[in-house]
Amino acid sequence: MPRVETAPDPDRRRLIEEYLPQARCAAQRFARRGVERDDLAQVAALAVVHAVDRRDLRRAELLPAYVSRVVDGELRRHLRDRAAVVRIPRAARFDDTLARRTAQAPLPLADEDRAAGGAPVEEVTIERALIARAARSLDGRQRRLLLLCFFRDLTQEEAAAELGISQAQVSRLLADALGRMRRLLDRDDP
């Protein structure tokens, strides 16, 4: 199919440059979430470009709100796709008594004992034990949903089809399950 040439939009460049400072501010708001600030700034800048390219010329007065929503949405999506699902309390990561309470014997500390991700084996074992204990506090449907979404890497739509529920229900169930797990893990955080 031949490429269709379109006239350049004279406002495009001006609008992108106008909204880039807003994108940088949004990226800074999200920067304390364990992702590089430069990565977030780049995601936010690309979101501005996409928002400007998809804008409705008939609704120019709504462009600032639209750009803001698109940038925030892209940053949240980026963080969701790259951040840890459940935050392990810092104090719990190295607490041997917590490992015993969850019936996991701590492994001896040695510099050469490292898991695949580079973390000490003991830390990985404790984190897995904490997450497993938190998951046991969920009902069967929520545990199955976590399995489908985070271990079988199904999308919310695919998980919904497998469970016979809507994607919106999947989203709510996941949010509730992760919230319960976080609250349980936070209770262990002194």
Retrieve residue 76's tokens: 């949240």
Same domain assignment for residues 56 and 94: no
| Selection from 148, 160, 109, 151 nearest residue 128 by Cα | 151
Q: Is residue 59 part of a domain?
A: yes
The answer to whether position 3 is within a domain reads no
Evaluate whether residue 4 is within a structural domain: no
Residue 33 lies in a domain: yes
Alpha helices in 83-166 (DSSP H): 90-93, 96-101, 121-136, 140-146, 156-163
Report the chain's terminal Cα–Cα distance, integer Å: 63
Residue type, 159: A
CATH number at residue 118: 1.10.10.10
Q: Are residues 96 and 158 in the same domain?
A: yes
Query: Residue 63: inside a domain, yes or no?
Result: yes
What is the per-residue pLDDT for 109?
Answer: 43
* Domain contains 2: no
Name the domain boundary from 82, 106, 123. Answer: 82
* Domain membership flag for residue 5: no
* Number of C-beta neighbours around residue 177 at 10 A: 23
Q: What is the predicted pLDDT for the residue at 19?
A: 92
* Whether residue 183 sits in one domain with residue 94: yes
Q: Mean pLDDT per 10-residue run, the chain (190 residues)?
A: 56 90 88 75 93 89 91 86 58 48 44 52 71 85 87 86 91 90 73
Domain end point (choices 52, 82, 112): 82
- One domain for residues 65 and 33: yes
Are 96 and 77 part of one and the same domain? no
pLDDT at 66: 92
For residue 122, how many C-alpha atoms fall within 13 Å in the half-sphere facing its CB?
Answer: 17
- The whole-number pLDDT of residue 172 equals 92
Range of the domain at 157: 90-187
CATH number at residue 59: 1.10.1740.10
Report the domain count for the chain: 2
Q: Which of residues 82, 99, 134 is at a domain's end?
A: 82
